[in-house]
Amino acid sequence: MRFLIRLTPRLLLICFLAPFASAGGPLVVGAGPAAGTRPAFGIDGKPFTWNPAKMPIQYRIDPGPMAANTSGTTVIDHASGVQRVQGMFGVWQSTPTASLSFSNAGNLLPAGAYTSGDLSSAQQFDAVIGSCRSGAQNPVIFDANGSLLNALGLPPEVIGFNTGCALDATNGYLTGSAIVMNGQFQDRVTTSSNLEMTVNEFDEAITHEIGHFTGLDHSQINLDLLLELPAVCDEDRLAGMPLMFPFAFCQARKDAGLPVLSHDEVAWISTLYPNASTPSNYGTISGTIFFADGISQAQGANVIARLLDDPSTSEDESRRVAVSVVSGYLFTGNPGQSVTASISADENNTDGDASGSRNTSLIGYYELSVPPGTYTIEVESVFDAFVGGSGVGPLNPPARLVGDPEFWNENESAFDFPLQRDPIIVHAGDNITGTDIILNYQFPRFDQYEDGGAFVDTPILPPVSPEESMHA
């Protein structure tokens, strides 16, 4: 494989200017203590999560109806809406290997322009978000007819969103977050400007948003399904496709008889919020992804652990049971640079992103928690269309690996057969380290003209005749 670094100098400059980056797996990662002018931000290399000592996470719900039609008639009343919201949070809470829990603390608390009743105006939304920013409440807002989203200048295609309000930058915790649900998708009216979804599709979209609420970013598994865009997704690949995939295009998981969370989400939520049973149900596989020189770490490759298929079953376990992360997910996507700071304040990227470790040993590092079993490890590009709102991992736009996915094998090199794969047996509690992959047919490092310090053996050439040798 070979990286195609497709950045124009302009884009490179543009990207240097961004002060904050996303992370693959966790949404926000600590950068550690203050350094220079960069303020302290969480615990170095540790994902931001809700404080496990302060479970359950309390949320408060808009007292209004969940969905109403344009004439103001309630289509889904408040009580039914509450039941559905609790069910959506419950999907995450029911993970037996995670300590995450939620509780419905009741109606929204009054805040400024919002005194009580149905939250229906942008001013009230602003006030409630203010209280979320102060850590007073985590609101779940029913925008029953889409008018709030309209006032916020958001398009009717927005099914719902999560907006993080506050975090504890000292201790690395998320402390405030809000969910908004567009009831127009459930008002049983379908026009070009009033779109509709099934109950399961809608609930899974909001459950995805709750995934962000917990601190999870997007995930990429079974990308081939997206590229085919089938009318109906096959069950094996849908089962393995994360709910946190950047966008939904298949039938609802529930409609296919699948659990709402894939193995990927269950593994990740158990990683971020482990409980006493997690070690007896998971083992970890970790390693580093390298450029072709075998020493320079490569950030931004999507790493997937897949369970080996069991030929005795009709299901394809390798498509169904998979866990992924982007290499360098704990490292910042933008370490900063001071070169452009002298141009203008707008160009100052001295501190880089607040998020992400500056520990260079994490640049290509990955770690995956998997249920016991026999796995293969593969790397692939993050789909290059996953930019902007669809981003996966710390690099946006993503770095591109050229060629087919490459598997890990025991004799890793930059020239091994990409499909050569060796199984890794994982028992509960195992920590299997050093599962490193050297990318094939790849530049030796990001800058191919830089000396990485690698020693490269020359190929074994055919014997040279004495005559040729003399002429050489």
Partner 1 sequence: MLRAMVRLRPRIVHLSSVLLIVLSAPAICPAQTTARTLPRALDQLASEADVIVHGYVVSARVESHPQLTNLMTVVVKMNVLDTYKGKPQKSLVFRQYLLDLRAQLGATEYRKGQELLLLLGPVSEFGLTSPVGLEQGRFLVSRDAKGKAVAVNGRGNLGLFNSVEKRAQANGVQLSARTTALVRHPAPGPIPLADLEDALRTFGSVR
Binders in 187-206 for partner 1, by CB under 8 A: 192-193, 195, 197, 205-206
Q: CB 239 → partner 1: shortest distance, Å?
A: 20
Residue 419 touches partner 1, criterion: CB under 8 A: no
* Stretch 24-53: interaction string toward partner 1, x if CB under 8 A: ---xx-------------------------
d(CA 170, CA 168): 5
Is 152 a residue that touches partner 1 (CB under 8 A)?
yes
Of 85-93, 275-283, 389-397, 427-435, the window that binds partner 1 (rule: CB under 8 A) is: 389-397
Q: Is 422 a binder of partner 1 (CB under 8 A)?
A: no
Binding test (CB under 8 A) with partner 1, winner from 30, 81, 373, 391: 391
Q: Choose among 288, 284, 283: nearest CA to 434.
A: 288
Find how far residue 302's CA is from the centre of its chain.
Answer: 11
Stretch that binds partner 1, among 62-70, 136-144, 262-270, 415-423 (CB under 8 A): 415-423
Q: Compute the chain's Rg from CA coordinates.
A: 24
Residue 107, token pair as written in the block: 């109606």
If the CB atoms of residues 31 and 305 are measured against partner 1, the closer one turns out to be 31
**HSE-CB for 209 with a 13 A CA cutoff:** 22
Whether residue 362 contacts residue 299, with contact meaning beta carbons closer than 8 Å, is answered with no
Least distance between partner 1 and beta carbon 427 (Å): 29
**Residue 451 sits in the site that holds partner 1 (CB under 8 A):** yes
**Selected binder of partner 1 within 35, 247, 419, 431 (CB under 8 A):** 247
Nearest Cα residue to 377 out of 405, 340, 415, 355: 405
Nearest to 268 by CA among 209, 215, 221, 204: 215
- Stretch of residues binding partner 1 (CB under 8 A), selected from 55-63, 80-88, 246-254, 261-269: 246-254
| Spatial CA neighbour of 31 closest among 18, 44, 21 | 44
Instruction: Choose between 56 and 130: whose C-beta lies nearer to partner 1.
Output: 130
What minimum distance in Å lies between the beta carbon of 20 and partner 1? 3
Its sign, for the CA torsion 345, 22, 158, 57, is negative
Long-range contacts of 191-200 (CB under 8 A, 24+ apart): 193/156, 194/70, 194/146, 194/156, 195/156, 195/157, 197/159, 198/252, 198/255, 199/84, 200/252, 200/253, 200/254, 200/255
Residues 320-339 that bind partner 1 (CB under 8 A): 331, 333-335, 337
* Contact range with partner 1 by CB under 8 A, out of 18-26, 30-38, 65-73, 262-270: 18-26
Cα 211 off chain centre by: 9
| Alpha-carbon span 277 to 404, nearest angstrom | 37
Report, in Å, the least distance between residue 396 CB and partner 1. Answer: 5
Is residue 249 a contact point for partner 1 (CB under 8 A)?
yes
Q: By rule CB under 8 A, what string of x and - marks binding of each residue 259-298 to partner 1?
A: -------------------------------xxxxxxxxx
Q: Judged by CB under 8 A, how many residues of this single chain contact partner 1?
A: 123
Q: How many CB atoms lie within 10 A of CB 113?
A: 15
Distances (CA, A) of 221 to 321, 324, 359: 10, 7, 27
Applying CB under 8 A, among 74, 86, 163, 198 the residue interacting with partner 1 is 163
Nearer to partner 1, 66 or 165 (CB): 165
List the one residue from 224, 346, 467, 468 that touches partner 1 (CB under 8 A): 346
| CA–CA dist 308, 318 (Å, integer) | 5
439 binds partner 1 (CB under 8 A): no
